[in-house]
Structure 1
């Protein structure tokens, strides 16, 4: 039986050439298609951000040296306008985000004016003393043109895409996504939506693992579920093209109809990993008709085992590690001494509550969890209030 770390190492070695290739291949995509993609090269700011000096408040813009006195009200400056120079002895009503006129260097919030409202041009308003740059956002104060905006390798989320949009960029160069083909096996597996015959189950893995792969940045292709026919499976795999990674679920354990094991015996390795759930694992490279040896990972068929396998062995390579915290467990727990057990839990306020048992079929418990609780090899029991390592989902 191999350890979790040994299998993690082998998966990383198997996929290292693929990730090296992806690091050298760029695509240009619109911002709306760049979510969860990985930035290909360093991004330098093409403009200052903000691009001009602007008001942080709704108020009066003036010369700071003339504050603390009554000033004549000039024309209002709305956002989006290009105001004329402000004359000495004047203060202009200005809206949040509006450009600061030449000659002005401070803003007084309207609620501090006397009277505390916007007045018509030509009226007089008394404004308190304020320093230079009071409530002014200077051009480039967030990011100056030419500065590094985002580093190569950054995973693009809403904040990063918002920055790119604010810099005026309509598209970005990103790394090519790994093309992953996913298949579920088993005579008993039916697509959701069909009548459920006796002895059959619905295919949860294609959706569960498929959406996890997409969320982690993969370009996904899902094959129809295959029956327990080794010849049909081998023929299907032999025809695959334009694939970077093949993943199967099911058919790799110790049963009499382990179709993946039968079809790929001698071509890939089958291991028992000291992990619960997710002990059975397969790894290797599958030959195809085009002469390509396709990297292959075989995960167990039970849904929780499938997702735990993905989280332990593949997701960190695709999207980086989960956030790890220490938390106090709310109830006592036991774990097999020779296995790394992964339990589902709900984390909040420094504590984690276990949900369901250790069983690999407890999909409902997984659906209500926001964390994976790690119980490593050698740990047999914990009492309530003891600390555990928690991966936040």
Structure 2
């Protein structure tokens, strides 16, 4: 096919929509019940609905004294301390004209309508004198002000963060129903690839490189909570690539590869995928990461495994994973595919010659709060994504001057999904 006959590159938004649609059709239906202790990073398969009010009763948010506000409007009044109430204990009804010593989290005794913090109280013979007249409701946390019984506190499709686990525990959920972990087969293509440890650096043959993508992608998959089957390095042959795809399709939800997705004579992923399944998209108008492939591979006996092929350049592979593969994994588990919300930040650099494609520039937040640009934005410089703490999502053809507002995507949110 001639260069002019090739279809226009897909925009990233259109590509993500296709990825999401394909993943939705293959969404994982199997669920499992796990301890809330062990559910970090998993995706909920069922709503968590509270059976209780939180807090379950009015309680104090301060150490101090519970009383009737009307009894402490004069600085001349001394209120006897009739009882002491610690967290986890229930006091007696408060008699008019008395106070109760109370500690944070303890239930407000019947009859009291305010709490005075201990710093505003003078302890005198026979009781306390309040230096500042309280208002009704002061320092009282009302029953159900956080969660009401019957409320859905965590919806199906939520990826469980540490704070979400705490909320589940708050409403008494000892176990959670989550989606089974995605099963992903991973392999690399390229006769030039050598695994670290197989050959000492000083003995590395001419033209050979160590396979960094295998480590980066496996780590990203593990961070995404996947069960990973590492199928190693596949030789640059069509028959070997087809065999690898057939083997990978068995028992996996997704096949992920790096390398071999360009249009050279030694790039065999596309013809192998066409022979063993189908191709949904091939190239996307982003930099780095244009040669991004998506499709599916037939399984023996029926069904298919999704396929995503990433570029071989290490930065391209990393960027396309956090933009595209993370979206596929999210949708497979019933979560959202959308990219995290970009943050408006100030550029501390100039970018006078933008690409016609949508660019993702490696940056980090400087000491002055402005974004610093890594000097070498080449797709082969893996150092840039180690140095960076985020990406600038730059529209096609958009030049940047220092002081401009740009769209910043923290790597922490891209990797965590």
- C-alpha displacement at 1:243, in angstroms? 1.0
The answer as to whether partners of 1:41 and 1:152 remain within 8 angstroms in 2 is: yes
State the distance in 2 between where 1:173 and 1:247 align: 27
| Aligned twin of 1:324 | 342
State the distance in 2 between where 1:111 and 1:390 align: 45
| Aligned twin of 2:189 | 185
Return closer, same or farther for 1:377/1:106 CA change in 2, 3 Å cut-off.
closer
The answer as to whether partners of 1:108 and 1:130 remain within 8 angstroms in 2 is: yes
Q: Which moved more, 1:105-114 or 1:267-276?
A: 267-276
| Aligned twin of 1:174 | 178
| Aligned twin of 1:383 | 401
| Aligned twin of 1:374 | 393
- C-alpha displacement at 1:368, in angstroms? 1.7
The answer as to whether partners of 2:377 and 2:384 remain within 8 angstroms in 1 is: no
- C-alpha displacement at 1:165, in angstroms? 0.9
- C-alpha displacement at 1:211, in angstroms? 3.0
| Aligned twin of 1:301 | 312
Q: Which moved more, 1:31-40 or 1:223-232?
A: 223-232
| Aligned twin of 2:370 | 351
- C-alpha displacement at 1:248, in angstroms? 0.4
| Aligned twin of 1:72 | 80
State the distance in 2 between where 1:14 and 1:289 align: 20
- C-alpha displacement at 1:163, in angstroms? 0.9
The answer as to whether partners of 1:53 and 1:100 remain within 8 angstroms in 2 is: yes
Return closer, same or farther for 1:342/1:146 CA change in 2, 3 Å cut-off.
same
Return closer, same or farther for 1:222/1:198 CA change in 2, 3 Å cut-off.
same
Alignment partner of 2:126 out of 123, 128, 132: 123
Return closer, same or farther for 1:12/1:123 CA change in 2, 3 Å cut-off.
same
Moved >6 Å (runs of 4+): none
Alignment partner of 2:290 out of 279, 283, 303: 279
Q: 2:59 aligned with 1:50, yes or no?
A: no
| RMSD over aligned Cα atoms | 2.7
Unaligned 5+ runs, structure 1: none
Q: 2:301 aligned with 1:290, yes or no?
A: yes
| Aligned twin of 1:257 | 266
Query: SS in structure 2 opposite 1:356?
Result: coil
- C-alpha displacement at 1:333, in angstroms? 1.6
| Aligned twin of 1:132 | 136
| Aligned twin of 2:204 | 198
Query: SS in structure 1 opposite 2:204?
Result: coil
Query: SS in structure 2 opposite 1:149?
Result: strand
State the distance in 1 between where 2:144 and 2:221 align: 38
State TM-score, norm by structure 2: 0.82
Alignment partner of 1:38 out of 22, 32, 43: 43
| Aligned twin of 2:252 | 243
Q: 2:114 aligned with 1:106, yes or no?
A: yes
Unaligned 5+ runs, structure 2: 1-7, 331-335, 412-417
